[in-house]
Amino acid sequence: MYWGLIIGTGVVFGLGAVLLVQMGNPGNYGFCAACHLRDIAGALGIHSVATLQYVRPEILGFVLGSFALAKTSGEFRPRGGSNPLIRFVLGALMVIGALVFLGCPLRGILRLAGGDLNGITGLVGFAAGIVAGIAFLKRGYNLGRARVHAGAGNSAGYLAAAVAFILLVGVGTHAAFLRFSVQGPGSQHAPLIASLVAGLVAGAFAWRTRMCLSGGIRDFILVRDTYLLKIYGVLFLAALAGNLAFGTFKLGFVGQPLAHTMHLWNFLGLFLTGLAAVLAGGCPLRQLIMSGEGNTDAMFCVLGMLAGAGISHGFNAAGSAAGVAVNGQVAVLAGLVVAGAIGWSFREKTTAVTVGG
């Protein structure tokens, strides 16, 4: 069971991503919680980059897969109320950083498995951001406890799954309320059913294993827990094997799909994502999974991620194959200041209780 879940999760994400690219997704773009959500933001008109508009069914699958499994196992417990506005801001920061690197940490691993060495720079930055986040945790950073939603508030827990379902119907029927890219990365995608099934299965595994790109590194640093790290390892090997088998492995820094070689900004972009993810209690993928299981704080974080995509593309702050423009550099530095301020401000004070005094 232990290894079954590790191998299952790693293979579904790693090999699944490579297969999705074979079926039409852009290069090293089988799964990405940040960029896929960015494409959804485009489809909803939150940004207006014509080439980045498609409701990626992989993301809908993450939410619905997590929802289905949480619901059937009796672990669907709507809860929230732990500083939702701050979680919104952290969600935006995670995606602003990820879009400078051009990928969430999950895509960072997938890029590396495709031979894109910029993945190393980004992932090292991500780990460094987690270390910075842990420093805040150790100083007492805490956004406060979430509460289980009772009564009518309970229905709020279904919102993420309901919206995912509506968007799924929308993308399936090519509904007029959504935008669809006719060229560029947004127009490249695997058949809907393949993307959806991949997302559902991956979402179910991610829910079961609590797969989290920041959580695994955080728990390893804090308590030497290696469970999630093993999943990353299998994921990397599965994607690497798939890329080698399909001939999509290309080693180097230059000319990689949806990537640039500005090392400092690859590093700092995912540094910001790692820091914000630790402060928000989960990476972009994990936030989607928790949204599915009824966590309304995670839903605020996902809304923030959508807003972050809007900010990135609205202000031309996202990276591109040409690199990171000044706006993107300013956005990352400003994001680090904001994340640092959040980490510093939300420290709880210890209340030492003296007994018998």
Q: What are the residues binding other proteins (CB under 8 A)?
A: 70, 75, 77, 134, 137-142, 145, 207, 210, 212, 215, 219, 222-223, 225, 227, 281-282, 286, 290, 293, 295, 347-348, 350-353, 355
**Nearer Cβ to other proteins, position 110 or 212?**
212
Shortest Å distance, C-beta 259 to other proteins: 29
Shortest Å distance, C-beta 302 to other proteins: 16
Shortest Å distance, C-beta 77 to other proteins: 8
**Nearer Cβ to other proteins, position 227 or 249?**
227
**Nearer Cβ to other proteins, position 235 or 240?**
235
SS3 label, residue 76? coil
Long-range contacts of residues 230-235, Cβ cutoff 8 Å, at least 24 apart: 230/6, 230/10, 231/6, 231/9, 231/10, 231/13, 232/10, 232/109, 233/10, 234/6, 234/7, 234/9, 234/10, 234/11, 234/14, 235/9, 235/10, 235/11, 235/13, 235/14, 235/109, 235/113
Residue 67 to residue 88: CA distance in whole angstroms: 21
Shortest Å distance, C-beta 133 to other proteins: 10
Residue 312 to residue 283: CA distance in whole angstroms: 18
Shortest Å distance, C-beta 215 to other proteins: 4
**Nearer Cβ to other proteins, position 180 or 227?**
227
Sign of CA dihedral 97, 136, 83, 288: positive
Shortest Å distance, C-beta 140 to other proteins: 4
**Nearer Cβ to other proteins, position 158 or 253?**
158
**Nearer Cβ to other proteins, position 232 or 267?**
232
CA angle 13, 16, 21 (to 5 degrees): 120
